Amino acid sequence: MAWNSLDDVALAGKVVLTRVDINVPMEDGKVTDATRIEKIVPTVEDIIARGGKVVLLAHFDRPKGKVVPEMSLSRIVPAVEAVLKRKVVFGTDCVGAAAQTAIAASGPGEVVLLENTRFHAGEEKNDPALAADMARLGDVYVNDAFSAAHRAHASTEALARLLPKAAGRLMEAELKALDAALGNPARPVMAVVGGAKVSTKLELLGNLVSKVEHLVIGGGMANTFLVAQGIEVGKSLAERDMADTAREILAKAKEAGCKIHLPVDVVVAHEFKANAPSSIMVVTACPADGMILDAGSETVARIKAAMSQCATLIWNGPLGAFELTPFDAATNATAKEAARLTAAGHLISVAGGGDTVAALNQAGAADDFTFISTAGGAFLEWMEGKVLPGVAALNV
């Protein structure tokens, strides 16, 4: 698809309706993690530098179409001002007179933040009338919220079809990284997919086997694949009712020429807690009262060897119970190798998903990855090969 960046649209003297994701965590009335606000800085600064007036559209929490005071975006104005280092004028609605008044009241270099789009029932229904009311407020539409792009909402989809439009800098970076990872990647490509359940990532695995040369399956879902091959996994987390599905995926991978990497050795403990006594054993030796909590060192060595032959890596999910030491070892070691290869210029590495970001940060590897997406559901749906409405609406 073809889409405009900020470089492709005239912004001077224009009111720029800018859809962002600043749905940040709060505690005791204070923002506890401003990362999502920090991510919008390049887009805001660029629009202002090009002579545009920034009007931020955003959702916050899930008010389900009703005005819920504790979900008002007014609560995060101080945090937005602190991050942007600019005055923020708040509008008590995202449409109508209140929004128009806020926009008119803002001066040069100031930013307007309009109230929670989800206070309107039409937002999540992708109501064209609500989108039209929003469109009357501005001259240009910019979407910088990839993390909300899998939702066909009024402010992410319908509005994009009513005004000259462009991707913001964060959206642009996401789209370029995703294209480099799966759309038009340098080959060979390796995908690392971990997590607890096969059932939540069926579409993902089904899509990847036809797109990549190497697929590493880790975490609890690897146990399901082991069971499907007749390997006993004791008390390990496994979806035994998904064995037939796992076998279908293995067959599809073989047909597509995709090599599946499953554990050949595992770290086994008898209780699920940090620093529980454990031992490494061949994958076929898990005792009936044992739990597989991580991949073993030989498995990691084989993944590293395959990774060294690849040009692109896409990663979603940990290889073991990374939140508990020492069952973070396989994830940490593999992530550090990916970071090393990336820093050396041998690998394009793209990762995403909540657990993934946490695991890579914990491993100290995140900074060297080519790109880490902070989008959860949107990143996963994109990996599944789905069309994201908020991205499709930017097509020109």
Strands, E assignment, the chain: 15-19, 26-27, 30-31, 53-57, 88-91, 111-114, 140-143, 165-167, 189-193, 214-217, 259-261, 265-269, 278-282, 291-295, 312-316, 348-352, 371-373
CA neighbor of 80 nearest in space, from 24, 29, 124: 24
Q: Which of 354, 376, 385, 386 is catalytic?
A: 354
Distances (CA, A) of 381 to 20, 70, 178, 203, 218: 19, 30, 12, 9, 19
- Alpha-carbon Rg of the chain, whole angstroms? 23
How many contiguous H segments (helices) and E segments (strands) does the chain have? 15, 17
The CA distance from 287 to 1, in Å, is 52
Query: Is 353 known to be catalytic?
Result: no
Catalytic residue among 176, 197, 235, 252: 197
User: What is the rounded end-to-end Cα distance, in angstroms, of the chain?
Assistant: 8
* Angle of the 243-256 helix axis to the 219-228 helix axis, nearest 10: 90
Q: Are strands 189-193 and 312-316 parallel, antiparallel or unpaired?
A: parallel
Alpha-carbon gap, residue 127 to 138, rounded angstroms: 18
Q: 252, 377, 385, 386: which one is catalytic?
A: 377
Question: Active-site residue 354, yes or no?
Answer: yes
Active site residue 96: no
Is 247 assigned a catalytic role?
Answer: no
Of 133, 124, 174, nearest to 154 (Cα)? 124
Give catalytic residues, as residue numbers. Answer: 36, 197, 354, 377
